[in-house]
A and B are shown apart, each in its own frame.
Chain A
């Protein structure tokens, strides 16, 4: 009996190997405060019961990439196993004075700025080790930021799958249609990572694009 089971398992592994990879390393990218860690927490909590990182209204709360391996998502009758990398917010400028506007003391703001610059570099380095990206955008903000343009351009140049997540649909100013108009060539799912709205649509899209 165990021999038959073993043969069946080997056959399944071969089928997966021949017809495509079912495990993928996915990076969650986007500008600061787009809701990347809120989304990472939601995905990991929904499918493995854990949390990845802390969240805050102060930009650059995540200053180190946080990796969670082996998150299995089942949707639309298919299954995909993901290693999820929640990356620090991408930015072209970091000024410690902006953190002081959120009430941080000067020393703490300077330390946060220093760590944030290192975090951006880490996020960039991770681009080389990924199979695909969830690009999280704040639906209430202008989608034509250079961070969005640069990340989309890099994924296109590397020919890697990209799924745009239009987050914060729960807010009154949300306008995901602007994101769709800016990047019409890529699939987009509108969600609220905080409230969980449309999250099943996102899981179906993840299984379809990365599975």
Chain B
């Protein structure tokens, strides 16, 4: 399992983040992002995942996060900043990470090793 810090994520471009996540997940790693992805990055990750699916090797990802927080303020609007605050995110291979339960306050997952 790899826990990636907010500092590292903030220094990376969207495509670098997605490439890093996919390369780790395809090797069988579970990735925890201290700061999650923006909605646009999440959708790009899903799109890239679809292109990487191979019938007998890689069936996709399991990704779990909470809805982003929109903390848009008057100052942010003037400065053209979005105010979107991303949340901690867990991503893993679909055949190894399974969400057991998820609600507003807790995500429970089951990790299987060596599948």
Q: Which chain A residues have a beta carbon within 8 Å of chain B's beta carbons?
A: 90-96, 110, 113-114, 117-118, 120-121, 124, 127, 142, 144, 146, 149-150, 152-154, 156-157, 181-183
A-B contact pairs, 21 of them (CB 8 A): A90-B46, A92-B49, A93-B49, A93-B94, A110-B55, A113-B53, A117-B53, A124-B47, A127-B43, A142-B101, A142-B102, A146-B65, A149-B67, A150-B46, A153-B67, A154-B42, A156-B70, A157-B38, A157-B82, A181-B104, A183-B67
Interface of B is mostly: mixed
- How many residue pairs link A and B with beta carbons under 8 A? The number is 82
CA distance A86 to B12 in the complex (A): 35
Known: A93-B60, A93-B62, A95-B94. A154 touches B39 (CB 8 A): yes
**B-side interface size class:** 20 to 34
Q: Which chain B residues have a beta carbon within 8 Å of chain A's beta carbons?
A: 38-40, 42-43, 46-47, 49-51, 53, 55, 59-68, 70, 82, 84, 94-95, 101-104
Let me know if B50 and A153 touch, CB within 8 A.
no
Let me know if A92 and B47 touch, CB within 8 A.
no
Let me know if B40 and A92 touch, CB within 8 A.
no
Let me know if A92 and B63 touch, CB within 8 A.
yes
Let me know if A95 and B60 touch, CB within 8 A.
yes
CA distance A36 to B101 in the complex (A): 24
